[in-house]
Structures are given as structure tokens and as C-alpha cells.
């Protein structure tokens, strides 16, 4: 049974409604009731949460998460991913389709959603594949997947290289009102590259991936958007050229949006010195000039979303030689402190600007009806201590994955309570 809850004394920040004030927030029957003063703290039937010196925000949305289930439950499950999300203040996630088997049909999507309903602590949404098996050769059944509950399509991990097929996919998706999450990478230019092509790759003797592999792919996606009249959301942007192309497209009035990961705005390819496989990702961490371009894109609004690309792997896989180790970083439990440390504390973004990128912006792009504290909205809420320091310890992650380059780093910002649909799932930093 969902209890009525009164959150008192918190600094309430709701970017969707341009609210930033010290006030109380009342939750009734799993919904936001009202924001104000003296809303019934003496009512014995209301659970009281004191948020003094804390920030109360809409529950965070992570629009790029690899659930691994079905097929790779040894790496992650729906249940463990949801626990990691809750611990990180993330109340809604979009699962990518590169499961085993690929989520390119109704059966797989219904399995994920039904299991999420039974086992997840947070709201789980799903994206279906653009092409069958993410093979890039034949369109998946987009209408079937939409009927099964998919809210977007993506071949994440692969860029659709057949542009005629990609154009048809955009035309179909426009008809069905399905957002496309686009992985921008020219396969030939990326080839067998292991990291960003530059001074560090030369020093390490590793084959590099040039930034133009992303730039060119971004440009052709933009051309397809202009031709089809549909939209595209370009995910995990990593290169300054890609940011420039997206900015130009937006100035032309094209419906192009983009996200960046916390690891791309906080780290550079220098994190790979010593052949650190925990910093191996795709797209790769790039040089400082690219990182600065990402910060500029976040600041001017070209990049409107932050998403983690949470990608858990087994430690034995990451302990392999660099060229055979899989790419990916776990990110659900480090998203908030990385945003607070690298964006808010360094005055790249204000609190409201930063949290728009993980609340109302992705909510709007993916038609999720999430990311706001408006009256009548689902009571998905994150409460955190903005000034509390935390030493990242991957051995204490709720995720099965421990592949994080941030292990041992001292960051700022700690989630203390997470509320999903009016139910407290994290209290005093502990899952309940």
C-alpha cells in the first residue's frame, strides 16, 4: 500500500516548471498533490521526510541503459539494474535492445516489460531494434514493437550503414511516432580501433578511432532527418565535430537532439594510460579539446540530455588484454556525483540547467510523462545532499558490474532518498 508522504524543508527544484524554492511537497495516492508551506505535518497518517539542507528534484531519467537481460544475466539483471538505478536516484530508465536475443520483436519486449513489472524498483521503458538482430540489413517490425510497449527504436552499438534502409526506418518511425536513438559511427573509419586516435593511442601503440568516424555519421543522420521530416536523438556524442553539426542542424530548425555521458564530459583519453580497460568505451574517451566542446554543447543547449550508457561487464572480461576487453562503463550509481562535481561545482551549468537534462528534457523527447513535480504527476522523486562527499567504491555497487574508472575518486553529491510512484525505495541511502 502506498502511503501519503510529506517532504518538508527541502529546496525543491523542478526545471519543467521553473521552480527553485524552499518548500514542502505533499504526495497523495502515489501522485504529486501540491507544493507549499504547512501542508499537514501534524497529520498522523502522513509519513514525514525531513529534507533540510537537501535538494528535492523530479526522479532522474536515464535514457540509455543496458539491462543485459535476457541472455546475459551473469552481467546484469532487470532486478540488479533497477537497484543500481534507485541507489543513484534514477527512477526511470530506457533499456537498450542489444540483449540476447536482440529486442527486435514483440516477444522479447513483452518479456522485459513483464519481468520489470514484477521485479523492478523503478520504471523501466524499452527501446526496440531498428533492424532485425541489429544486423543493419532488414527492418525490424516497428509497429509490432510499438504495440508491445517500445517507446523508441535504436540499433545502439551499431550504426545503420545502409542509408536507404535508414531513410525507410525514419519514414516508418515518423508514421508511428517513434523516436530514433541514433548511434553515430562510420564502421569503416572506426574499423578495429580501440580508443581515440591521437597522441595517447600512439604512445600506447593501440589502433585509434578518428573523430571523423562520428562526425561523418552524425552528418548523414542529419541529412536523413531533413529528407524524412522525422526526428533523431543522437546518443553518447563524443566529438567536437559532431557537436558542431548538431548545433548547425538545430539552427536550421531540424528536430535533432543529443545526449552526452558523464564519462565523456568528465574524462579524456588520458584515463587509458596504463591500458586501463575500465576506461575503454565506445565511442571512445577523446582528448581535452573534444571534452571542452561537449561542455560548450551542454552549456548552450545543443546537448539537452545526459545519459549514462550504463554497460555492465564481468570483471574477468575487463581483465583481458586491452584489444579483447569489451567496451563499457557502469554509470547509474555515479551519474549524480559526476554531474555535481564536473558541471555544477565547476559552474558549467546551474542546478536547474543540469537537472533539466536528466528530468524534463528526456521526458519530453521520449514522450514519457515523467520528469516533473507538477500536480497530478507520478510521485517519482529524488532527494539528495548536494554538498556531501562520497568516495566511489565499485565493490559496493548495487549493479553486478564493477567496471568503473571512477573507483577511489572523491566526488560530491549523495542520494539519500528515492521515491517511485509514491513508494520510498531508498531511505537514508539504503535500499529498503
For the annotated catalytic residues, the residue numbers are 309
Beta bridge partners of 57: 382
Rounded-to-integer distance, Cα 206 and Cα 233, Å: 31
Residue found by looking up cell 550504463 in the block = 310
- With H, G, I as helix, E, B as strand and everything else as coil, classify residue 423: strand
CA nearest neighbour of 122 among 396, 427, 381 = 381
CA nearest neighbour of 126 among 99, 162, 151, 156 = 151
Rounded-to-integer distance, Cα 350 and Cα 238, Å: 22
Task: Write the CB contacts of 386 (distance below 8 Å, at least 6 apart in sequence).
Answer: 54, 55, 340, 344, 351, 412, 413
Burial environment of residue 36 by CB neighbours within 10 A (0 to 12, 13 to 18, 19 or more): exposed
Query: Which pairs with CB-CB distance under 8 Å and at least 24 residues apart come from 187-196?
Result: 187/158, 187/159, 187/161, 189/213, 189/216, 193/284, 194/280, 194/284, 194/322, 194/323, 195/269, 195/272, 195/280, 195/284, 195/285, 196/269, 196/284, 196/285, 196/286, 196/287, 196/290
Q: At what angle do helices 212-228 and 163-176 cross, to 10 degrees?
A: 50
CA nearest neighbour of 4 among 30, 22, 23 = 30
Amino acid at each position: 500500500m502506498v502511503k501519503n508522504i510529506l517532504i518538508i524543508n527541502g529546496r525543491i527544484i523542478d526545471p519543467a516548471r521553473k521552480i527553485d524554492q524552499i518548500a514542502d511537497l505533499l504526495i497523495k495516492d502515489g501522485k504529486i498533490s501540491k507544493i507549499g508551506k504547512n501542508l499537514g505535518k501534524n497529520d498522523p497518517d502522513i509519513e514525514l521526510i525531513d529534507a533540510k539542507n537537501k535538494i528535492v528534484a523530479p526522479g532522474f531519467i536515464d535514457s540509455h541503459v543496458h539491462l543485459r537481460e535476457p541472455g546475459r544475466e551473469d552481467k546484469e539483471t532487470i532486478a540488479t539494474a533497477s537497484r543500481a538505478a534507485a541507489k543513484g536516484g534514477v527512477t526511470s530508465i530506457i533499456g537498450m535492445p542489444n540483449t540476447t536475443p536482440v529486442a527486435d520483436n514483440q516477444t522479447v519486449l513483452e518479456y522485459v516489460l513483464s519481468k520489470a513489472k514484477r521485479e523492478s524498483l523503478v520504471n523501466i521503458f524499452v527501446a526496440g531494434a531498428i533492424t532485425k538482430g541489429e544486423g543493419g540489413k532488414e527492418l525490424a517490425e516497428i509497429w509490432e514493437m510499438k504495440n508491445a510497449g517500445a517507446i523508441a527504436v535504436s540499433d545502439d552499438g551499431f550504426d545503420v550503414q545502409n542509408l536507404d534502409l535508414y531513410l525507410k526506418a525514419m519514414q516508418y518511425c515518423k508514421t508511428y511516432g517513434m523516436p530514433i536513438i541514433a548511434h553515430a559511427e562510420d564502421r569503416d573509419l572506426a574499423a578495429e580501433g580501440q580508443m581515440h586516435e591521437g597522441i595517447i593511442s600512439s604512445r600506447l601503440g593501440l589502433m585509434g578511432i578518428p573523430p571523423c568516424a562520428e562526425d561523418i555519421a552524425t552528418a548523414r543522420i542529419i541529412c536523413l532527418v531533413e529528407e524524412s521530416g522525422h526526428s533523431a536523438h543522437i546518443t553518447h556524442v563524443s566529438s567536437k565535430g559532431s557537436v558542431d553539426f548538431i548545433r548547425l542542424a538545430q539552427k536550421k530548425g531540424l528536430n535533432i537532439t543529443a545526449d552526452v555521458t558523464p564519462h565523456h564530459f568528465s574524462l579524456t583519453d588520458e584515463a587509458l594510460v596504463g591500458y586501463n580497460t575500465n576506461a575503454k568505451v565506445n565511442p571512445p574517451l577523446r582528448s581535452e579539446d573534444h571534452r571542452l566542446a561537449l561542455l560548450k554543447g551542454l552549456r548552450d543547449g545543443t546537448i539537452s540530455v545526459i545519459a549514462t550508457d550504463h554497460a555492465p561487464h564481468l570483471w574477468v572480461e575487463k581483465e583481458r588484454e586491452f584489444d579483447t576487453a569489451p567496451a563499457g562503463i557502469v554509470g547509474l550509481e555515479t551519474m549524480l556525483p559526476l554531474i555535481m562535481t564536473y558541471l555544477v561545482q565547476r559552474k558549467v551549468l546551474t542546478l536547474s540547467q543540469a537537472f533539466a537534462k536528466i528530468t524534463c528534457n528526456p521526458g519530453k523527447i521520449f514522450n514519457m510523462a515523467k520528469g516533473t513535480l507538477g500536480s497530478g504527476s507520478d510521485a517519482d522523486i529524488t532527494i539528495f545532499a548536494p554538498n556531501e562527499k562520497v568516495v566511489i567504491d565499485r565493490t559496493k555497487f548495487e549493479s553486478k558490474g564493477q567496471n568503473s574508472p571512477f573507483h577511489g575518486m572523491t566526488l560530491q553529491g549523495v542520494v539519500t532518498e528515492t521515491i517511485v510512484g509514491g513508494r520510498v525505495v531508498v531511505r537514508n541511502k539504503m535500499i529498503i
